[in-house]
Structures are given as structure tokens and as C-alpha cells.
Amino acid sequence: MAIAKLDPVAAVRTNLEKSPFLKRKLGDLPLRPGCYLYRDEGGNLLYVGKAKVLRNRVKSYFQQKRLDAKTRRLVARIWDVELIVCETELEALVLENNLIKEHFPPFNILLRDDKSYPYVKLTWKEAFPKAYVTRKLRKDGSLYFGPFFPASTAYRTAELVYRFFQIRDCDIDIDGKRGRACMKYQLHRCTAPCIAAVSQEAYREQAREARLFLEGKREELKARLEAAMWTAAEAAAFEQAAQHRDALQQVDAWFTRQKAASSDLDDTDVYGSAVLDGRACVHRLVLREGRMIGRQEYLLDDVEIFDGEVLAQVIQRVYTADPAPARILAEVAPEEAALLADWLSGLRGTKVRFHVPQKGEKVELLAMAQENARLALERKFEPARLNEAVLEGLQAFLGLSHLPRRLECFDISHGQGREVVASCVVFSDGVPDKARYRRFKMTNEQNDDFANMQEAVTRRYKRMRDEGQEFPNLVIIDGGLGQLHAAETALGELGLEQLELASLAKKEELVFRPGSSEPLKIPKSSPVLQLLQRIRDEAHRFAVTYHRTLRAKRTLQTELTQIPGVGPATARKLLQGFGSAAMVREASEADLTGAVGAAAARKVLAWRQAPTEQPR
């Protein structure tokens, strides 16, 4: 019995058609770094990946034709995708590592070992602290700095601590009675507390300076590096000076701090929210032992503002099923926080604290949760309701009598008065309606945008009027007052003065309306202006595409297309093969036959024998 082979391309197409989530999410991916999580139809996690630009990376799985066998198997099973937006790609890398080690997705291999990114550890509780690189964080009173990416950065950072602050890295007991110091004392990389060459107070001062450096106090280090570089250069120690120069150039990169991992080992949940049109999304980031291992999203209906009362209800619902962490960070304090903390502490068995961060790393974590909540809400919000709110804003801003569910926009494109075309694009309920797009080739080629706009509007709405078609709620013109008046004249001559009309000028994004010479200015951050810009840019794209098509056809009408029996396809082959009509005239019969075949070659040869008779 024959066994049918799985066609991965067909499987992906089937998933895109059947999945209620996948196709919509692929059409609305953020241009931000972060992690993406692929799940199968049963909700099982298949793969965790990180991306510098989520939209480009996620879409590439469904657009590439040449995928390896493993990736084809993965793509054929994808039913849903979840996103976690991060601030940087490095942050996404840390998060990817944490998620893989927590969930062990079947299609992840490279990061499934128990290797972690390194930290620099300063044993602060010891009388003579030491510094070294470690991959394990423990609650031992020491200070941990990092994580560092790549791992070599941690070792270079520790090297700086030894070089500039002369902090030890050995494991010997310090009693000051050792007979002699090791070579590091001679190399000025340790002040040798082992032989009592430095007092405990002086050594602790060194350790304080090292701590300030590791905490990110970089300006002092830069000054010391620069001074050391010039000192070495004056002493003709050019190799050492070059090392200081390289360190000076990289110092900022060495101490980039990431929010996806923290040296704070308290179990923490971070709650960020976003509210849009009566619906809220709460995003929960889950950190355990300093590592971000997961996230959850909760959608709430009939919420106008996310306040302490709403947060308290969310927390009660979440921790009825899940164990509470030692600390909960949020943008507001929950209602009756003390009572709620007592309840959670009883469930956990240890104290639970609420905290509203005001500065530092915790504020950055909160901002990350809020950004993910905002993007998740926009992804999960029904497009119709989201667009409805924008259309209502457009109606109010322009003072329209009806909600502009159908928008039409015109643009003109030409090349110095040649191949003059117009486009008309249609948006229905805020999204492109490409089946209704129309394009026009102007009857008179002229470099007159006003006349061309009047002709395009006339041709469009004369036909719609004569055929009894439904008119748009708003007509948008790409241009300023001149183009608006041209369109207004066209509608007046057709007896369609009732059509709502507006124009959008590119330079300052000003909106003009008939009957008023003063433009309207919409805030740049407004979704209303963004909708107008989107439809204007789409009209421009559609017009330019048509203009280029016509220009390409004209360019092809060369001397070669005038040869009897030679059409555009053969002329194109001749140009590709020989570069110009002059070279075609000089080509041998054998070369012509090789390029276009024997029959066409004979026609070219006949044309060459009587060149004066050919049109020029």
C-alpha cells in the first residue's frame, strides 16, 4: 500500500486557512525585538525563538520555500504563535534561554543544556572580598553583577577588576601569615592581603570602588583608562596603550544591563496593563530565582481604567490557582493591599509584599509588561471594533454627517508629463478593499496636477452615478488646496456636491476641507492621522506602480520592435543578448540564431539588409 507523503507547503496553507488565530496574528506582528512561541493545535509548545524584528523573523517561516527538513516539520504543525516583546535583542536572547530551560520545547536543541550566562561575583560578606566569574546564583550574601553577553565579556570585566582595583580571586584563607605573595602581587593585580601587605580597611576601600564600577559607575573608569593609555603611550609601551584604547572603546557595551534576567533572586511577578475602548489586557511576567521563565495575559471586559480595585480582582483570580511569589510589582497598589498581602502570605507560608516601583530595573520591568499588554490588546482586539473607534474619531474631527465606513483616495503620478496616471484606492471599515481599486490613464498627457485630478474624479464618479453604484462616505485627495478645488469642481459639474471631501497635504500633513482656507492639524500620534496617511500612501503606491508599468512598455518600444515579425518578447531577448540595437546589427547569424532561434534570426538579417527602409 502506498503511503502519501506530507506536503509541508500544503500543510502550512491548511493551518493558515483553518487556524482562527494564526493568519490574523501573522498580519499584525510588531516591528520590535522579542521572543515568539509556536504552539500546535492542542496548545502544546513546539518551539521558542528570539528575533531582532519579530515581524520579519516570524513571517520568514511562512514565506521561505527552501527550509530544512526539521523546520518544515515544525512549520507544518504550527497552529498558533505567542509573542513577548523585549527592549533589545540581547534581552530577547536571555528570555529565550530561560523559556527553553523551563519548558524544553521539542524543536529547540541548542539551548536545552543547563548552561547559563555568567555573572561576576563579589563575595561582599568576607573580610577580604574576592571577585570571580560564576554561572550559579545563590543566596549567600554575595553581590552578583550581570548576566554578560557573550560569556567572554564577563571574564574581561573580571580582568578589569583585577587590573584596576587589585581585588583577589584566590580561595585561600586570609590571615596575613603567609610566607610570600603570589606573582599577581608582583604584577600589580592584587594588593596581597595574604601577607598583610594591605590593611583590612584599605582593602575594603578597594572592594567598594570595584563594587561601584560593577554597578555601572563607568565615568571614573573611562577617566582612568584614558589616563593609563596616555601614560603608556608616553612610556612607549604602545601595546599596552592599544589595550587601554580598545577597553575604552568597549566599556559601555561591557555593562549593558538586561531586564530578562536579574541578580535579585526573590520570586517576583510583574503586572502591566493596557486599556482600549472598554477592554483591558493585563500582562504578567513571571520571574523565578532572577530568571524570567514565563508570562500570562488576561483580558477583561467593561474596564475603563486599570486601578487598584481591578488589580485586586485580578490577583485574587490568579493566585487562587497559582502559588504567589514573594513579591508582586504593579503600576498601582491593589485595593486593601494589607489584607490581600495577609491572604497571599497565608497561602504561600512566607511573607508576600506589594511594590509600586519608582526607579531602576524594576521600573524597566514594569514598562516591559505594560508594552506587552498594549501590543497583546491590539492583537486580540477585534479589528472591526478597533477600526470603528478610529473611524468615529475621523468623523468627529472632520465634522462628517455619517461614519466614514467607505473611504476613497485619489493620487496622480507621472514622469515629467509622460505616462500620466491616476489611482483610486478604497478602504472599507478601515482596511484596504483591493477588489474596488481603480486606475486611470489620463486622456491628455500634461504636467497639470489640477486638471488631471479633475479628470480622474470626473471619470470615477460619472460612471458610478450612471450605473447607480453606492458612493463613498468620504473622498480624500492627495494634495493641497489646488487639488481639493479641482476635485470639488468635478463633483459640482456631476451634481454630486453632497459627497464629503477632504485633502491631505504631504509636507506638514495638513487636512483641508471645502469652504475653508484654514487647514486642520491632527496630532502626529493620533490614529486618525495614521489612517489618513495609510490610505494616502496606498493611493500613491498604486499610482506609481501603474505609471512604472506604462513607462516600461514605452521603453520596450525600441528600434528592434519595428522589425517585421519581431515582437516585444523577441526584442527583449535581443537586448538581453547583445545590449543594444547597434550590437544586434553587428551580430553574426550564428549568434543571432543562438539568441532567438533560426526563424527570428532570418527576420533580423532581412531587416539589416535594408536598414534605410526601417522606421526610426
Band (264; pLDDT cuts 50, 70, 90): low
Using DSSP's 3-state secondary structure scheme, residue 298 falls into strand
- Is pLDDT larger for residue 507 or for residue 500? 500
> What is the per-residue pLDDT for 5?
42
Indicate the CATH number of 268-380 among 3.40.50.300, 1.10.10.60, 3.30.420.10, 3.40.640.10: 3.30.420.10
Cβ pair 367, 357 in contact under 8 A: no
Buried residues in 23-32 as b, exposed as e (16+ CB within 10 A)? eebbeebbeb
- Rounded average pLDDT over 189-206: 90
> What is the per-residue pLDDT for 321?
64
pLDDT in tens, 101-135: 788 888 876 444 445 668 889 999 999 999 999 98
**Does residue 448 carry a pLDDT above 90?**
no
- Is pLDDT larger for residue 539 or for residue 67? 539
> What is the per-residue pLDDT for 7?
52
> What is the per-residue pLDDT for 614?
40
- Rounded average pLDDT over 432-442: 92
Helices and strands (H and E) in the chain: how many: 21, 19
**Does residue 510 carry a pLDDT above 60?**
yes
Return the CATH architecture of domain 8-103. Answer: 3-Layer(aba) Sandwich (3.40)
Domain extents in the chain: 8-103, 119-216, 268-380, 390-553, 557-613
Per the omega criterion (within 30 degrees of 0), is the bond before 514 cis? no
> What is the per-residue pLDDT for 334?
92
User: Which stretch of DSSP H or E encloses residue 48?
Assistant: strand 45-51
Return the CATH architecture of domain 390-553. Answer: 2-Layer Sandwich (3.30)
Model confidence pTM above 0.75:
no
**Does residue 259 carry a pLDDT above 80?**
no
**Does residue 1 carry a pLDDT above 60?**
no
- Rounded average pLDDT over 463-481: 93
- Is pLDDT larger for residue 243 or for residue 268? 268
Band (552; pLDDT cuts 50, 70, 90): low
> What is the per-residue pLDDT for 114?
45
Using DSSP's 3-state secondary structure scheme, residue 520 falls into strand
**Does residue 253 carry a pLDDT above 70?**
no
> What is the per-residue pLDDT for 255?
52
pLDDT in tens, 277-322: 677 888 998 887 777 777 788 888 777 788 888 898 888 878 876 7
> What is the per-residue pLDDT for 353?
94
> What is the per-residue pLDDT for 385?
59
- Is pLDDT larger for residue 137 or for residue 542? 542
Flag the least confident range among 12-21, 187-196, 341-350, 443-452.
12-21
Q: Which cell numbers hold the place of 504?
A: 491631505
Q: Is-same-fold flag (8-103; 557-613)? A: no
What ranges make up the beta strands (E) of 71-222? Answer: 80-85, 119-122, 131-134, 143-145
> What is the per-residue pLDDT for 352?
93
Indicate the CATH number of 557-613 among 3.30.420.10, 1.10.150.20, 3.40.630.10, 2.40.50.140: 1.10.150.20
pLDDT in tens, 11-39: 555 577 777 778 888 888 999 999 999 99
